[in-house]
Structure 1
Amino acid sequence: MAVRAPSTARRARLGAELRKLRERAGMTTTQAADLLGTSSGQLSNIEVARFGVSADRVRVAAHTYSCTDKSLIDALVAMTSDRKRGWWEEYREILPSKLLDLAEIEHHGTGLHAAHSIHIPGLLQTVDHAREIYRQAVPELPPPEIEHRVSYRIKRQEVLYRTNPAPYRAVIHEAALRMMFGGPTIARGQLQNLLEMSELPHTTIRVIPFDATCYPGSGQSVYYVRGPVPALDTAQLDQSHGPVFIDAEAQLAQYRLLLERLDDAALDIERSRELIHKLAQRL
């Protein structure tokens, strides 16, 4: 049933979704394996992404698990065909694997939505701003790793400049705009970069000002990557030990609602640009 393949974030998600379908069908791995004509060990290896799986086998598994959601099945099948190693693989032995997973998830996203209260979203950071962020990391990072992380972060931004980029939306609290990482010159350059990137046709940047009467989420930063169907969305949270990925449907629904409420609390596009411009002029 399975062929060996290198584990990637995308393949791990495919395995996890097949496991969810099996569990919803009320089947154990042994029961499912018997129906699929394989061993429980092979099935378990697919579900934890040690083995890849063919498109035909995904369709057979979906039928066996009584899944009737054609859009979801087609999306899962599409995940079997992409076996290319992305640009992030050049960092495989250099940076934590979770960072590489983020780049892969982002690369395949159909929509990107960020909400930040203290930091500028990574896809919108300048080189100088990103370097200052990493210089202040705890525990302290060695200079070579700082440069690797900076180059990786800037490389991620290609997702905004490729052919037919996914729509990108960012809601940023005014507090993040006023942070002086690296001093006035770097901070001014960062604000100017936000203004320039806000002019990209597929990019929307909005600001929640200090005088807003509400701020849903208590300042939690969220990065939401939409998949081809809602069930394949991913929410990413920043933690001190690295990114945390969430794909449980109930939690995804909560984060979608949170982002909607943050959008409602933010200034419109033009007033957001005016505020960013005003802050840049003061530096």
Structure 2
Amino acid sequence: MGLRVNPTYRQRRFGAEVRTIRERAGLTAGEAAAVMRMQASHISNVETGRTSLSPERLRLLAEASACKDTTYVDGLVDLGHASGKGWWSEYRDRLRPSLLDLAELEDGARDIVCYEPMFIPGLLQSEEYATAGYRGGYTGASHPEQDLEVEFRMRRQTVLSGENAPRLHAVIHEAALHMSFGDPAIRRGQLVRLLEVAELPNVTLQILPFDGAVAFGTSFTVLRPPVRKLSTVIVAHIERSLYLGDADSLARYDDWFARLCEVALPPVSGDSRHSSHTIKDSRGLIQRLLYPLL
């Protein structure tokens, strides 16, 4: 099998984890190759995601590094040998690889947590809101290209209602609730969409109000697969989003999200009886903003 020219994020992450195991064991590439009974030249290709590693050899390396976390090793085996195929595969060569990577991560997640200071998270957007965002943005893409990305975003949302749907916990700043792209109907439809999706049993939605704590300025998403050590943080950036998987980054963003949850309003509840006339919780705030638009 030839070497991969453009490894996916999952393949690169597998290679990075293999390198971490090797380095923690204090092994050089040549020493690790001897442990795994393979050629030393093969190691660099594994660690850069250009080729895979058999479960047997991976377990030999884990044993040599005294890694006793069998759950992590089993999860790493699954990560390295996943097919990478799903509904997103039909968009290959038509959309940016980063979008395909995101859909694959969401598909394999058990939990998704995200914070957005200015826009509604993509998994919660209405189609009209998403379309207006692309039309009014700074991308140089043509309308057909933008429409394809909107279509892709809408298909991503099916993960929330599919089989083995992940739990989604979103904290959204109140500023995002005021975005209308010049059309009050878009804002109204998006606020209604938020209230509807918050009814899903696997969705928790909190609003950070203007008169609350100082907002965190950067949006981020943490995607947690069944093996939490293999989680990924995606930090949005106008040039290129940052993908983080090291233990320190995971712990840091988990802590930041926990602090955001503490200062945000209580989650939207499925029982509207206690929140329809108050803005002391997330549902009440959304409804207060929605009423003038009805």
Task: Normalising by structure 1, report the TM-score.
Answer: 0.93
Quick check: 37-46 or 147-156, which moved more? 37-46
SS in 2 for 1:105: helix
**1:20 Cα deviation after fit:** 0.6
Could you tell me which residue of structure 2 aligns to residue 90 of structure 1? Answer: 90
Q: Letter of the aligned partner of 1:256 in structure 2? A: D
Question: In terms of mean alpha carbon deviation, does 57-66 or 262-271 score higher?
Answer: 57-66
Matched letter for residue 116 of structure 1: E
* 1:4, distance to aligned residue in structure 2 (A): 6.0
Instruction: Say which SS state the counterpart of residue 94 (structure 1) adopts.
Output: coil
Structure 2 residue corresponding to 1:236, chosen from 211, 234, 237: 234
Contact 2:233 2:245 in 1 (8 A): yes
Which residue pairs with 2:125 in the alignment?
125
Q: Is the 8 A contact 1:98 1:242 kept in 2?
A: no
SS at match of 1:23: helix
Find the aligned partners of 1:220 and 1:4 in 2 and give their Cα distance. 36
Alignment deviations for residues 75-133 of structure 1 (CA, whole Å, 9 cap, x no partner) = 11222442151211222211111111111111111100011110000000011111111
User: CA, structure 1 residues 84+232, in 2 after alignment: closer, same or farther (shift >3 Å)?
Assistant: closer
Query: Structure 2 CA distance, aligned partners of 1:174 and 1:216?
Result: 10
Q: Distance in 2 between matches of 1:23 and 1:54?
A: 19
For residue 21 of structure 1, give the secondary structure of its aligned residue in structure 2. helix
Listed one character per residue, the Cα deviations across residues 192-232 of structure 1 (whole Å, up to 9, x for unaligned) are 000000000000111011111x1353x21111111223321
In the alignment, residue 272 of structure 1 is paired with which amino acid?
S
| Counterpart pick for 1:245 among 243, 248, 260 | 243
Letter in 1 for 2:286: I
- Corresponding letter in the other structure for 2:18: L
Superposed counterparts of 1:1-283, under 5 Å: 7-212=7-212, 214-215=213-214, 217=216, 219-269=217-267, 270=269, 271-283=281-293
SS where residue 241 of structure 2 aligns?
A: strand
| Letter matched to residue 285 of structure 2 | L
Secondary structure of the 1:172 match is strand
The offset of 1:182, in angstroms, is 4.5
Q: Distance in 1 between matches of 2:110 and 2:15?
A: 20
What do the CA deviations read for 1:46-67 (whole angstroms, capped 9, x no partner)? 1111112222222122112221
- Report the alpha carbon displacement of residue 10 of structure 1 after superposing the two structures with TM: 2.1
User: Per the alignment, do residues 216 and 177 of structure 1 end up closer, same or farther by CA in structure 2, a change over 3 Å counting?
Assistant: closer
Per-residue deviation at 1:181?
Answer: 2.1
Cα distance between partner residues in 2 of 1:182 and 1:152:
24
The aligned length equals 280
SS at match of 2:199: coil
Amino acid at match of 2:171: V
Classify the secondary structure of the residue corresponding to 1:13: helix
Deviations 1:144-177 (A, max 9, x none): 1101110111111111011121110000011000
Q: CA deviation at 1:254?
A: 0.7
| Counterpart contact for 2:116–2:220, Cα < 8 Å | yes
Contact 1:224 1:236 in 2 (8 A): yes
What stretches of structure 2 of length at least 5 have no aligned partner? 270-280
Give the % identical residues: 38
Would the aligned equivalents of 1:135 and 1:141 in 2 still touch at CA under 8 Å? no
Paired residue type of 2:48 = V
139 and 119 in structure 1: CA distance in 2 versus 1, 3 angstrom threshold: same
Q: How far apart, in 1, do the equivalents of 2:211 and 2:43 lie?
A: 54
TM-score by length of 2: 0.90
Distance in 2 separating the partners of 1:100 and 1:75? 21
User: Where does the alignment leave 5 or more consecutive residues of structure 1 unmatched?
Assistant: none
Report the CA distance between 1:34 and its aligned residue: 2.0
Shift of 1:3: 8.2
The 2-side partners of 1:109 and 1:193 are apart by 23
* CA distance in 1: counterparts of 2:87 and 2:164, whole angstroms: 18
Measure the CA separation in 1 of the matches of 2:32 and 2:56: 16
Q: Give the CA deviation at 1:8.
A: 3.0
Alignment CA distance shift 1:27-1:182 (3 Å): farther
